[in-house]
Structure 1
Amino acid sequence: MATANATRKRSLAWDYFYKEEESTFCEICKEEVKTSGNTSNLFRHLQSNHKDEYTELEKHRLEQASQKKMKVAVKQPKESQRKKKLDDLVKMIATDLQPISIVNDQGFQDFLKAIDSKYVPPSRRTITRDLIPKIHSTCKLELAESLSKAAFCTFTTDQWTSRATQGFLTFTIHYIEEVEGVCCSKSSVLETACLKTDHTGENIATELQRIATAWTIQDKIVCAVTHSASNMNLALRITKWSHLPCFADTLNLIVQGAIAADYQVSSLQTKCKHIVSYFHRSVKASD
């Protein structure tokens, strides 16, 4: 009996509950749930009080059951086909910037059934915890291998702010890769770093050097292209990498300066903005 208990898999329901001494509590609402040696009450509590989590849990249970059947009834080549389908699904989500929750959308599930009635899409939990980390590791290794063959590289970087007013710094690498005797231009985003400190030149320089060191390209960089903000200019002076201001950004600054210097043009621009704002705010006017 001890051996059977030791080999029995832990129920998925316990992902949402924890034990304190002899009592069991819900991780979400902290309510105590009575159990009698099984997980029936745990599932019942989720179904009654946390429907989203219950739906996700049921989907994961069905997926596990489907995978168990596949292991028994399906030969190895079909397992490889399923892995490719899973990889392709995650690549689609990443390429098109789709939300992971797309696998729960009824229309998407109907579409998959129309293509392959036997295919069961993975749950959000599986995609987040298993599939994305695996593909990320694979892609990272492939990119590192490609970068290791590059003699020189340049990078572009930019600061931006999310809707939640969180600052980020994106580092994009550009280099030449030779494939079967043909030189190809390559560009890849190495990292989008969250800027949790003040956006000073010193802090930006630290982030840039950290990313470059992590990818072992710090000695291959021949030039960096950025906007012309003072903190970015200081950051590149600190790193001692050659620096070119972005032409498009510089041109934009010239145009803005020229408009601001001419009262008639700036006044006309202000009036145009007011007209556009009026039509955006008024449904009747826009009709």
Structure 2
Amino acid sequence: MAPTKSGAWSFFQKLDGKRANNLWKHLEVYHGIEQLKKKPQNASERESAISSSKTSNSSKDLDTAKPSSSVTVTISQEDKPDEPLQPTLETLFARRKAYDEDGQRFKELLEGLLFMVCKDNLCLSTPEKEGFRHLMKIAAPLWQPPCRKTLTSLMETRYCDISAYIRKSLLRISSVCITMVCWTGRHQTNSFLGMTVHYAEGNEMKSIVLGVEYLTESHTADYLEKKMLELLALWDIEPSKVSLVITDNAANITKACVQAFGKSKHVPCFAHTINLIPANALGFKQVNSQPVPYVPMYSRHNSRIKKYSYAFSP
């Protein structure tokens, strides 16, 4: 009898007068057995494969055939990982529409941009910079960032909304505390007055910066009093609602607070008071009736001399 061509007969014995044209298809469909990529080359290999298989020698036992260790078993349909399906046209259009001006994704990205600019104190031209544009092309290629002019307009609108919300919150508060400070910018002559309000809303403490005023005149007590009352009026806060004012120990701002709110409501900053102790202690003119140099000025002068000597040393 001529040798069989199909590798399936390496595991089964063909009976006389019987035919099995679709044997491999039957094994794959009903028993999960795939066709061998390489069939045995000689009779000895076929005999060893037959002896290792656990199939029956009759055609009736084909339905109960089990794969041997040398047969590749296919993964069942339940065990197969879910293959990614091609998105429908409706899904693609919905995804693209989310990046339009009225889309949900567009609003989320715009809110995140406004928060980043405010929180990190970035310039309003950040969306126009090349690095930011490159990042957005990778992270959200369908989103078009706003220009500087648009971002400025959005920031002003957001400021008005938040200001209105804060005003309503302050109207419900019966008592607030205020901290103020005057300072001059480093390496410049511009001076500012900053004011922060503190209050309790329910069980939560809140602190809000009411504003930073640019001081254009001499820092007299009357001028500072005028500026701080203007800031309070801008936020609809009555002076009678202020229960405590904390400032540094400068004579001008201390007098301004006493004139505006009364002496009982002014408290000097404890940290600033502690900081004045060593400076005043080291600045004594006499110790045991003996004159001594002004130590802080001498120490600053001495450190400046050392700095210049190090700079010009060979």
TM-score (norm 1): 0.64
Q: Which 5+ residue runs of structure 2 have no aligned equivalent?
A: 1-92, 285-291
CA displacement 1:103-140 (0-9 Å, x = unmatched): 22211211122210111111111112x11111101111
Identity %: 25
Question: Could you say which residue in structure 2 is the equivalent of 1:103?
Answer: 127
Which residue, out of 113, 118, 124, partners 2:137? 113
Question: Could you say which residue in structure 2 is the equivalent of 1:217?
Answer: 237
Task: Determine if the alignment matches structure 1 residue 226 to structure 2 residue 257.
Answer: no
Alpha-carbon distance in 1 for matches of 2:113, 2:154: 10
Question: Could you say which residue in structure 2 is the equivalent of 1:140?
Answer: 163
Which residue, out of 140, 148, 151, partners 1:127? 151
Output the aligned Cα RMSD: 2.6
- CA apart distance, 1:100: 1.6
Question: Could you say which residue in structure 2 is the equivalent of 1:174?
Answer: 198
Task: Determine if the alignment matches structure 1 residue 255 to structure 2 residue 278.
Answer: yes
Task: Look up the SS of the partner of 1:86 in the other structure.
Answer: helix
The verdict on how the C-alpha distance between 1:273 and 1:184 changes in structure 2, with shifts beyond 3 A counting, is farther
Q: How many residues align?
A: 207
Question: Could you say which residue in structure 2 is the equivalent of 1:201?
Answer: 221
- The residue type paired with residue 201 of structure 2 is E
Of Structure 1 and Structure 2, which has the larger fraction of its residues in helix?
A: 1
The verdict on how the C-alpha distance between 1:150 and 1:229 changes in structure 2, with shifts beyond 3 A counting, is same
Q: Which 5+ residue runs of structure 1 have no aligned equivalent?
A: 1-69
Question: Could you say which residue in structure 1 is the equivalent of 2:260?
Answer: 239
CA displacement 1:58-77 (0-9 Å, x = unmatched): xxxxxxxxxxxx9xx83689
Alpha-carbon distance in 1 for matches of 2:101, 2:128: 27
Q: How does 1:31-180 map to 2 (within 5 A)?
A: 74=97, 79-128=103-152, 130-162=153-185, 163-178=187-202
- CA apart distance, 1:268: 5.1
Task: Look up the SS of the partner of 1:90 in the other structure.
Answer: helix
Task: Determine if the alignment matches structure 1 residue 187 to structure 2 residue 207.
Answer: yes
Alpha-carbon distance in 1 for matches of 2:164, 2:213: 19
- CA apart distance, 1:83: 2.8
- CA apart distance, 1:210: 1.3
Contact 1:87–1:135 (CA under 8 A) maintained in structure 2:
no
Structure with bigger gyration radius: 2
TM-score (norm 2): 0.59
Alpha-carbon distance in 2 for matches of 1:257, 1:114: 59
Task: Look up the SS of the partner of 1:100 in the other structure.
Answer: coil
